[in-house]
Amino acid sequence: MSGTGARLLRIDAVDAAYRQAGAWRSVLNRISLDVGRGEPVGLVGESGSGKSTLASLALGERRDDRRITAGRVLFEGTDLFAADRASLQRLRGARLAFVPQNSAASLTPTMRIGALFREVLGRHRAASRHARPDRTIEALLADVGIADPAAAAARYPHQFSGGQQQRIALALAISCEPALLVLDEPTTGLDPIIRRSITDLLRRLCRERGIAMLLVSHDLETVADLCERVAVMRAGEVVEVGATRTVFAEPHHAYTRALVEAVPRLDRPATAGGGRVIARTAV
Ligand SMILES: Nc1ncnc2c1ncn2[C@@H]1O[C@H](COP(=O)(O)OP(=O)(O)OP(=O)(O)O)[C@@H](O)[C@H]1O
């Protein structure tokens, strides 16, 4: 699946600013970026360059201390910052889903896994489409590799390992069949083996279900593994965007070159399967 499909998300010449000490400070400067249906797109760049801000705007998140001063964010043709709150609410969590950094910790500790799913499915009407929500929940848990899903649904998050919690959080994010998954550093802080298994799972889930991804990460290897296209940000601007292989193998912008050169080993050849152009970084 590739970015040749219809545009799903269109970030169109967006400027954004945060209020700090009573004044508005610009943090995004005429950012444009599209994500096609089913397309995985990575967002990399230096700390503070605006990646999380852009991801949050892609989710239509409104905050009193932030404003869009120019441009638009369109999701399936809806202007997320002109839409009324009810329309936005309908989109968020259903068509648009978010996987935060350390998503395992985002599972409510006092709720059983089954109840967590029923709450999310119920909130977005998806449950009513399924005659047997328990079956849906068990199928989702099985799909992310949780053994004995019926028993798992009756347990609490702390009764699972960190890696399993991460898988459950992913299953929860895709439970409403979103068209776009926005992920903020989904593999940061994970040990290398769990990171690899979560990356493989994400790739499979999104491919099988045709889910597009906007993936914010400092981990260029994960981006190279998962994303067909990548945008490189610096100081509130997209300095380079293109096919991940090309951008990482032949960076045009000096900043991208420095970023890629900072990865310890770049000498492993690209593989057909994962599309990796960057070798495993030292972890
Ligand atoms: N709530 C806020 N109030 C004021 N400024 C903010 C706020 N959140 C972010 N910023 C500023 O906006 C800019 C972009 O921050 P953002 O978190 O989007 O960058 P980032 O690329 O995701 O960084 P990192 O990789 O460190 O997470 C930074 O200068 C940051 O200080």
Task: Tell the residue nearest (CA) to atom 16 of ligand 1.
Answer: 50
Can you give the pLDDT at residue 168?
94
Pairing of strands 180-184, 96-99: parallel
Nearest atom within ligand 1 for CA of residue 218:
25
Closest CA to 259 of 225, 236, 231: 231
Q: What is the pLDDT of residues 75-126, one digit of tens each?
A: 999 999 999 988 888 888 789 999 888 888 889 999 999 999 998 888 765 5
| pLDDT tens-place string over residues 265-283 | 645 555 544 444 454 333 2
Specify the pLDDT at position 281: 35
ipTM of this complex > 0.85? yes
Complete DSSP assignment for the chain: --TTS-EEEEEEEEEEEEEETTEEEEEEEEEEEEEETT-EEEEEESTTSSHHHHHHHHTT---TTEEEEEEEEEETTEETTTS-HHHHHHHBTTTEEEE-TTGGGGS-TTS-HHHHHHHHHHHTTHHHH-S-HHHHHHHHHHHTT-SSHHHHHTS-GGGS-HHHHHHHHHHHHHTT--SEEEEESTTTT--HHHHHHHHHHHHHHHHHHT-EEEEE-S-HHHHHHH-SEEEEEETTEEEEEEEHHHHHHS--SHHHHHHHHTSS---SPP-TTT---SPPPP-
Pocket test for ligand 1, best of 11, 19, 27, 187 (most atoms within 8 A of CB): 27
What are 184-217's pLDDT values in tens digits? 998 887 888 888 998 999 999 999 999 999 999 9
pLDDT of amino acid 194? 85
The mean per-residue pLDDT over the stretch 8-17 comes to: 97
> How far does the centroid of ligand 1 lie from the alpha carbon of residue 50, in Å?
6
Name the residue at shortest CA distance from atom 24 of ligand 1: 47
145 CA to centre of ligand 1 in angstroms? 35
**Position in ligand 1 atom list of the atom nearest CA 236:** 14
40-45/23-36 β-pairing: unpaired
Mean pLDDT on 253-257: 93
Distance 15 CA to ligand 1 centre (A): 14
pLDDT at 128: 54
Pocket (CB within 6 angstroms of ligand 1): 18, 20, 27, 45, 47-53, 65
Q: Closest Cα to atom 25, ligand 1: which residue?
A: 47
> Which residue's CA is minimally distant from atom 9 of ligand 1?
53
Identify the band that residue 223 occupies on the pLDDT scale cut at 50, 70 and 90. Answer: very high
Q: What is the pLDDT of residue 125?
A: 59
257: pLDDT strictly greater than 80:
yes
pTM (two decimals): 0.87
Q: Of residues 126 and 133, which shows the higher confidence score?
A: 133
Nearest CA to ligand 1 atom 3: 18
Ligand 1 midpoint to CA 54 (Å): 10
pLDDT for 195: 87
C-alpha–C-alpha distance, residues 145 and 162, integer Å? 14
- Greater confidence (278 vs 47) lies with 47
| pLDDT attached to residue 2 | 42
Say if residue 3's pLDDT is above 80: no
Mean pLDDT, the chain, whole residue set: 87
Residue % of the chain over a pLDDT of 70: 88
Please, what is the end-to-end C-alpha distance for the chain in angstroms? Answer: 30
User: Closest Cα to atom 14, ligand 1: which residue?
Assistant: 50
Average pLDDT over residues 1-20: 81
91: CB partners within 8 A, 6+ apart: 60, 75, 76, 78, 80, 83
